[in-house]
Copies of this chain bind each other. A is one copy, B any other.
Amino acid sequence: MLQIPSNYKVLFLQGGATQHFAQIPMNFARRGQGADYLVTGHWGEKALKEATPLVQARIAASGAAGNYTAIPARADWRLDPDAAYLHYTPNETIHGVEFHTIPEVGDVPLVADLSSTILSRPLDVSRFGIIYAGAQKNIGAAGLVVMIVREDLLARCPRDIPKIFNYAEHAANESMLNTPNTFGWYLAGLVFKWLLAQGGLAAMAERNRAKAELLYGYIDASGFYRNPVEPSARSWMNVPFTLPREELDAPFLKEAEAAGLMALKGHRAVGGMRASIYNAMPLEGVQALVDFMRDFARRHG
């Protein structure tokens, strides 16, 4: 499972990741200090926006100009060495853009919203200052956030904010400063046991890689479907794709549902389709999708 270095603390917090878009600057930036944001999609934009009332949030790099189909080249990032932290979103669920390596950013603590990739493969926690993740993708049910924080950073949490917003208080109280999301925490424990029974994160990585390769491989070879993301930045978890003509979207979705393939409609920000293939989706599910897509393309090609 996830190796947690001894100088890190794991917190089980109520609520969703969005709340931490605001709480992270509140806790880890001094008043007036700047913080850097890498924006590679919808969620990075949102994290930046929620932080804006609380910190001098600065875009270190953005993929917006290319409609979030690639990660900006490392050489073009403008990093502030005095930033309180550098925030990024390793996987963007709507745009299907993912960092496949952890960026090198020097001494500035790296803060990652890992909501949609945590536990999908092994992870070197020691490279991060703060990892946080909403539970509803690979951990369990909505209403719980898992945070992994380097303990020295907790010294930054200011005393003049309400305790309930203060991560150092949550850490000192072992995530039981207030009544936690008991059911959500319990469910997370069951998922962790399930992951171990599957062979742990290395086994999940193999499975997730195979799922992604199968789906992208078919899309690229199809001559019918299209994924717009730069291959090196393609997400293992969320695969957006378009059909050759927009009027095919409705019949595709209808027939897919009839075949038991649900929730394939893409986010309105990008249109088309999106297959979310988190840990809970087996290879057989992706194979069923590919079989359906192939049949649909044959009939409408």
A52 and chain B: residue at smallest CB distance: B162
A65 lies within 8 A of chain B by Cβ: no
B53:A183 contact, CB within 8 angstroms: no
A180 and chain B: residue at smallest CB distance: B142
Compute how far the CA of A172 lies from the CA of B14 in the bound complex, rounded to whole angstroms: 22
Contacts of A165 in B (CB 8 A): 19, 22
* A90-127 interface with B by 8 A CB criterion: none
A17 and chain B: residue at smallest CB distance: B178
Listed residue (A21, A160, A162, A163) with the most chain B CB atoms within 10 angstroms of its CB: A162
* A13-36 interface with B by 8 A CB criterion: 14-19, 21-22
A266 lies within 8 A of chain B by Cβ: no
A181 lies within 8 A of chain B by Cβ: yes
Given known pairs A16-B178, A179-B136, the reply for A50 and B143 (CB within 8 Å) is no
A71 lies within 8 A of chain B by Cβ: no
Contacts of A163 in B (CB 8 A): 49-50
- Chain A 124-166 per-residue mask, 1 if CB under 8 angstroms from chain B, else 0: 0000000000101000011110000000000000001111110
* A75-92 interface with B by 8 A CB criterion: none
Compute how far the CA of A165 lies from the CA of B53 in the bound complex, rounded to whole angstroms: 11
Compute how far the CA of A142 lies from the CA of B181 in the bound complex, rounded to whole angstroms: 5
Given known pairs A160-B53, A164-B50, the reply for A183 and B19 (CB within 8 Å) is no
Listed residue (A17, A50, A178) with the most chain B CB atoms within 10 angstroms of its CB: A178
A184 lies within 8 A of chain B by Cβ: yes
Determine how many copies of this chain the complex contains. 2
Compute how far the CA of A182 lies from the CA of B181 in the bound complex, rounded to whole angstroms: 12
Interface size class of A (residues with CB under 8 A): 20 to 34
A177 and chain B: residue at smallest CB distance: B18
A143:B54 contact, CB within 8 angstroms: no
B184:A16 contact, CB within 8 angstroms: no
Contacts of A143 in B (CB 8 A): 14, 143-144, 180-184
Compute how far the CA of A17 lies from the CA of B179 in the bound complex, rounded to whole angstroms: 9
B18:A164 contact, CB within 8 angstroms: yes
Compute how far the CA of A21 lies from the CA of B178 in the bound complex, rounded to whole angstroms: 12
A159 and chain B: residue at smallest CB distance: B53
Q: Whole-angstrom distance from the CB of A183 to the nearest CB of chain B?
A: 5
A21:B164 contact, CB within 8 angstroms: yes
- A contacts, CB < 8 Å to B: 14-19, 21-22, 49-51, 53-54, 134, 136, 141-144, 160-165, 177-184
25 A–B pairs (Cβ distance < 8 Å), ordered by A: A14-B14, A14-B15, A14-B16, A14-B143, A15-B15, A17-B178, A18-B177, A19-B164, A19-B178, A21-B162, A21-B164, A22-B162, A54-B162, A136-B182, A141-B181, A142-B180, A142-B181, A142-B182, A142-B183, A143-B144, A143-B181, A143-B184, A181-B181, A181-B184, A183-B183
